Structure formats: C-alpha cells, structure tokens
Chain A
Amino acid sequence: MELYNLTIHELSEKLRRKELTSSELTEVFLKRIDAVEVKIKAYITIAKDDAVKQAKEADKRLASGRDITPLTGVPISVKDIFCTQGMLTTCASKILNNFVPPYDATIIKKLKDAGAVILGKNNMDEFAMGSSTENSAFVVTKNPWDTERVPGGSSGGSAASVAAGECAASVGTDTGGSIRQPASCCGVVGLKPTYGRVSRYGIVAFASSLDQAGPLTKDIKDCAVLLNTIAGHDPHDATSIEAPVPDYTAGLGKGIKGIRVGIPREYFIKGLDSDVEQAVRDAIEVLKKNGASIVDVSLPHTDYAIAVYYLVATAEASSNLARYDGVKYGYRASNNNLLEMYCKSRDEGFGPEVKRRIMLGTYALSAGYYDAYYKKASQVRTLIKNDFEEAFKRCDVIITPTSPTPAFKIGEKVADPLTMYLSDIFTISCNLAGIPGLSLPCGFTKENLPIGLQMLGKPMDEETVLKTAYSFEQATEWHKKRPSI
C-alpha cells in the first residue's frame, strides 16, 4: 500500500523503526497533495514550509529517542477553524480572509507538543455552518469517491483529505454532526467526544454549548490515538471537564461480550436510503456475532431535534458572531459612519448561510419571541437529553445510521436550506445531549458510495464506544477500502 494511505499507527511504527524519516514522509504527503488537490480541494492553506520545518524537528526527536509520542513526525491536517499562531485562519469566511492568529488553540498546541507535522488547514462550511462544505467562501471540496458529490460538512475538507490520502489524519469540529456526517460521506472514522472532553480554547466559536472538536481518521485505533492527544481539562475553557484522560487505545481488542447495543426505533424512518438501512442491519448482525446483546430502545423526541437545534445553534451563533464588526480583525467595508461601517462589513463579509443563521438566531432571541422559540427549544432539549438517559439505562451504546443517505450531488440542496438542515437528522441529538458520537464505515451503496454507522455512548464513555467500534471494524474490511483518484 502507498505510504499516504497508511494510518497514524502504521506510519508511527515505520518512523520509530527508522524505515523512513518524518521529512521523507512529509515530502510523500506534500507530493500527494500536489497530485490530487486540483481535483479534491480539501485545503484552504497548504503550509509547506512550516511542515518541512516541523518534520525536521520531529526527526531530531526521533533520532534522540526521547519524548516520542504516537504522533511524532506524523503529517496531519486541521480544519481551518482552529487558531494557528502565525498561520492564516479563515473559518472559510471572507470576514476572516486575512486573519493571522497571535496564538495557538489548545488543540493545536497539544498536537505540536506531541510532535505532529501540520500540513495545512482544511476547507469547511463558512463558520462550520453547513452539511456539504459548499458554504465555503473560497472553494467547494469534492468527495474523493465521486467528485460530482459533496464530501459532507462542515468538516468536509478534513474528511476528504483523510480519504484521499492528503494527510494521515485530521482534526475537525462537530456542532450538529460536522465530524460524523462528512466521515460517513467520505468513508472514514470521525468522533465527536463528550461535550467538555476537549478544550474549545482557540476554536472559532459557532454554538458554544454544542461545539466540540474531534478526530477524523482512517481507522478506530488512530481515532483513539488522536483522542489521547487532544482530550483533557484546560483552564482556558470553563466548560472543559476536569477528569483524567484514560488511554483510549487500552480497551481496543478486549472484545464486546456482554455489551448491550441499543437500536432506537425512531431512527429507522421513511426517507432512509435502502442501501444504508441494509448496511446498518448487517452491522447489527456483526456485533451480535461478536458477543453483543441487542436491545430495542426508544428516543421519543428525536423528531423534534432539528427544530431545537436550529433555534439553539442559531441563537448562540448570532451572539458569537457579533464580534465580527470590522474593528479588531478581519474584513472592513470602507465607510465614514461607524454604524454603517459595522452593517456593511458584516453584510459584505458573511456569506448567505451565515447571514441566514444570524437572522434566525437574532429573531429567536428578540423581544417577544424569546419564550416561544429559544426558551421552548431549550426545554425540549432537556427532553431529548432525558431520552438518552432513559435509553442508556438499558444499553451501553446506541447504534444508528450516521446519515439517512450517502453523499448527495454538489448543488442538489443549495437552493433549499430546510432540506439541507434535514440531512442532519441522525447526528444532531448527540450534540444537544452532550454525549459522544462516532461514525465508522459499514458498507457501500450500489453506486460505490461509503455508508457510515453511528455509535452513541454515555457521557464520558468514549472507551465503550471505541471498543465496540473496533470490534466491528476488525470483523469487516470496509475501513481498508480507498477511493481511486
């Protein structure tokens, strides 16, 4: 297999055995990017010089034999939502098209400290608002399995870069499915950890009570390795949880005998693609064979999740995005009047979907509508959270399809925002409840498009999710398939 198709753990082993250097490996990935990026467009910034420098540093570390982590010398990419010191951070928006952060996000710092090589910043939906990466102000990322289709979103550049071998792995963010849905569309693994498991410091904020960062990788072991690196409490983030970080790789391979897998009947609905449904039903059989017991569970408020999400998330976004006023950083429209300058900078700097969400959120929070919209949504959010608490009394993980359909065609849903919102139907509840959710490949449609299986876990129980996912992965071959580009 080509080096660029290998996993973090495979590459790390080669580096440690001195079969190759990080500089050579980085060159392999930069060449791969050169070769396929014209078709895929997974990156906004390719940081060639920085990557070469980081690789040299990693090589010194590898040569010294000291302080080597599973990421030392391994080339990865990160979504363009993480602040990177001295490196352009746009969030795929015109309003941040010249923003060079003066500091690193905690996640970036952790990755750099571990010795990872950062190849560049991935394309995404502007401010992480979208499910197709078509809302980027700069470029539309293509799905490596079919370049006429979207890679999913909002972490579409991250998922596509992993699937296309343009990096060993990537880190994205997930507010309503933005890691899991693109992972599903591109045939890779994606994990949204428990809310608070990973620091949000230095991540451009979209909806602060829902945003969470996590890995996009080629297999489950890599997912655990990356989570080991980025998880943990951070004094810079008041919502990050003060709890020790276990070794997430430790439970892999220990088997799933006795694990109770819940199947929520509300997720097998009209509109679910028949190939997707079959693949998920087959996956359940695999888990049963591996020793899990299957239980029927109910999440009765599932049908309300999208309405709740698009009120809560837009309300929080309208508040978070108030900071873009053309004063401290970013795009400024020229005008002699301060108020006009604010309004014009924002109108010209934000794209249509971002403005739509700011409008919706402002409306939901405005006088006279707060109780009917924002408060009501926050109350129903409690009901959704309670649904999961009830369900998890009877099971340890919940299994669903990640997305009701495989990747759709570019342009197919652009004209109708509500239809686009409905494609998040299976991923959103997880963010509202704050629980961990993972997507991993579980098959292909007749058109050879990847299908994702979603596994949801109890709060802070990523270990059981990863263990169950690993058991499924090792019993199947789906994760070994790569697109031909």
Chain B
Amino acid sequence: MAITKKDVEHVARLARLALSPEETELYVSQMAKILNYMEKLQALDTKGIEPTTYTVPLTRKFREDKASPSLPQEDILNNSPEKAKGCFKVPRIIE
C-alpha cells in the first residue's frame, strides 16, 4: 500500500490542511516510511479478536433532565477571532 502524492493531497483535503508543495513532498516520503513500519501488524492473525477502543467499561449514565447554568455567552465569544451580534463571524458563505 505505497502512499502516493495524490493520496497525500486527498488526505490533506479531508483534514482541511492547505499544505504547501514542499510539505506535500515531505509528507509523502515520511508517511511512506512510517506506514511501511505499521505493516508489521499485518503479520498478526487477529481474526475474531474484538477491537479495544476504551480500556474501561463505558457505562451509560443517566442524570436528571434539569437545566443548569452554562458559561456566559460573552465569555465564550471572547476568544473568537471575529464576532458580531453575539455570534461567531465567518466569511460570507451565501451570495
């Protein structure tokens, strides 16, 4: 499963990263080397083995459906690069 320049460009789009041509070149070679190392896993037979995603049993916990105070709107907006009328402001998306 050799990784190509086209793969890296596709993944960068999925990851929303505007990589420069130099970065793309670098990641093609570095990812190829790293993924090649990962190939060692293919040697193991894992048929029928349950994957582990969490090491602790995740129990569903219910709580009372009761409103509790959340952080003030102003505090939340304070960190935003651009804000307007109590909202996060982004570049126009509708013509």
Hey, which bits of chain B sit against chain A, CB under 8 A?
A: 1, 3, 7-8, 10-12, 14-20, 23, 27, 30-31, 33-35, 37-38, 40-42, 44, 46, 49-56, 58, 61, 63, 71-72, 75-76, 78-82, 88, 90-93
Contact = CB atoms under 8 A, between A and B. Distances in A.
A238 B11 contact: no
Nearest to A332: B81
Interface in A295-354: 301, 303-304, 306-308, 310-311, 318, 322, 325-332, 335-344, 346-347, 350, 352
A205 B3 CA distance: 28
A381 B51 contact: yes
Contacts of B40: 303-304, 307
Interface string A430-465: 001111000000000000000000000001000000
A146 B3 CA distance: 40
A340 B93 CA distance: 12
A378 B51 contact: yes
B30 A327 contact: no
B79 A308 contact: no
Nearest to B54: A209
Q: Which 10 A-B pairs have the closest CB atoms?
A: A434-B55, A378-B51, A329-B79, A343-B18, A332-B81, A102-B75, A379-B46, A347-B18, A362-B15, A381-B52
Given A344-B18, A358-B15, A366-B11, A307 B49 contact: no
Which of B7, B50, B51 gathers the greatest number of chain A CB atoms within 10 Å?
A: B51
B27 A359 contact: yes
B83 to A, nearest CB: 10
Contacts of A360: 31, 34-35
A161 B8 CA distance: 39
Contact of B41 (A308, A332, A434): A308
Contacts of B46: 376, 379-380, 383
A318 B15 contact: yes
B70 to A, nearest CB: 10
A58 interface: no
Contacts of A195: 54-56
Given A359-B11, A362-B11, A381-B52, A328 B93 contact: no
A1 interface: no
